[in-house]
Amino acid sequence: MSAGRTTNSPIQIDVPLARSPYRVLVGPGLLADCGPLIAEILKPSRCALVTDSNVGPLHAEALETSLSEAGCDPIRITVPAGESSKSFEQTSKICDAMIAAGLDRSSFLVALGGGVVGDLAGFVAAIYYRGIPCIQIPTTIVAQVDSSVGGKTGINAPGGKNLIGAFHQPRLVIADTDTLRTLPPREFHEGFAEIIKHAAIRDPEMLEANDSLDGIAPLIARNVAIKAAIVAEDEFETKGLRALLNFGHTIGHGIENAAGYGRLLHGEAISLGLIAACRLSVQKSGLPQSAADQILAALARHNLPQNLPADISTESIMTALRTDKKFHAGAIRFVLLRNLGDAFVSDAVSAKDIEHAIEALR
């Protein structure tokens, strides 16, 4: 993996996969350059631009202009904003719109938005004509540091989050940090849950990262480099290493599901999952309480939730967990910390341990 920067150019992080290597570009003002950047790797053609009802009015026109000037012919497809769009219904609607527009296997898809759009559009790209190229243009912190990189695409099922999907690596990721300036405060801060997760498992210094937008590109790139390194070593999550990225997510996804998608933002649910995972790490793997307290303090600085709403039952969370794809053949694979920067997958966490950790969040 390499990362470099030249004057007036974006930070580049390479994701060196054996079969499908690609670049992640991070920096301000990149939307206007997307067309030429995409044209460097894909033959200009008709393409689908998938976005949502929040992001489209803000950024789609600038992207369409850049694509058109580079010789592409973008067809904008807008889905409703929110987690509920990660569904078979929206998947079908996007595919139908692409078919009606005459897009075929020579076309490509551009995903413009946060994690919901990236996951949904990436899944469409994976199945449309048995797979067409996908360009990810993430517009939230969660998407820029995590979900746009690594090729995991998917939609939700009634029984759980991301249970239906495919590995489909993007051909290019372009993270324009200026798009973060249009995020409401709540959506901006939730993204730091994923940064704190990366800090906990690989780079503890990032626990002290501030939330200033000025100069945020190096922080985004630092997180991308962590994700890229892990993905390069374990692309299809067969070696156990990629599972480390699930720190805080086992319980966090259960809470997100049990609350009803949309009530808690992804990062807010993950904040609660991180707190529970820290508690279990102190109990099961000897994580110093002082280290756990550093993680909790970082979450608090970014206004992330510390307590589970009383009306979300432990039973409903556990029901969601039992269908989570992080359970392997019925066994619980739970990511714990021995210390900051030292994560591992444990089989020593029982369902009862998880119940107690959830109750402790109240």
Nearest CA-CA partner of 13 in 205, 194, 184, 149: 149
End-to-end CA distance of the chain: 42
> What is the number of alpha carbons within 13 Å of residue 184 lying toward its C-beta?
5
Question: Which sign, positive or negative, has the C-alpha torsion 218, 222, 86, 167?
Answer: positive
3-state secondary structure of 13: strand
Point out the residues that are catalytic.
130, 152, 194, 227, 237, 242, 246, 249, 253, 266
- Beta carbons of 222 and 196 less than 8 angstroms apart: no
> What is the number of alpha carbons within 13 Å of residue 361 lying toward its C-beta?
31
3-state secondary structure of 146: helix
3-state secondary structure of 151: coil
Backbone angles phi, psi at 73, to 5 degrees: -125, 90
Query: In sequence order, what are the beta bridge partners of 238?
Result: none
Element (H, E) at 93: helix 88-100
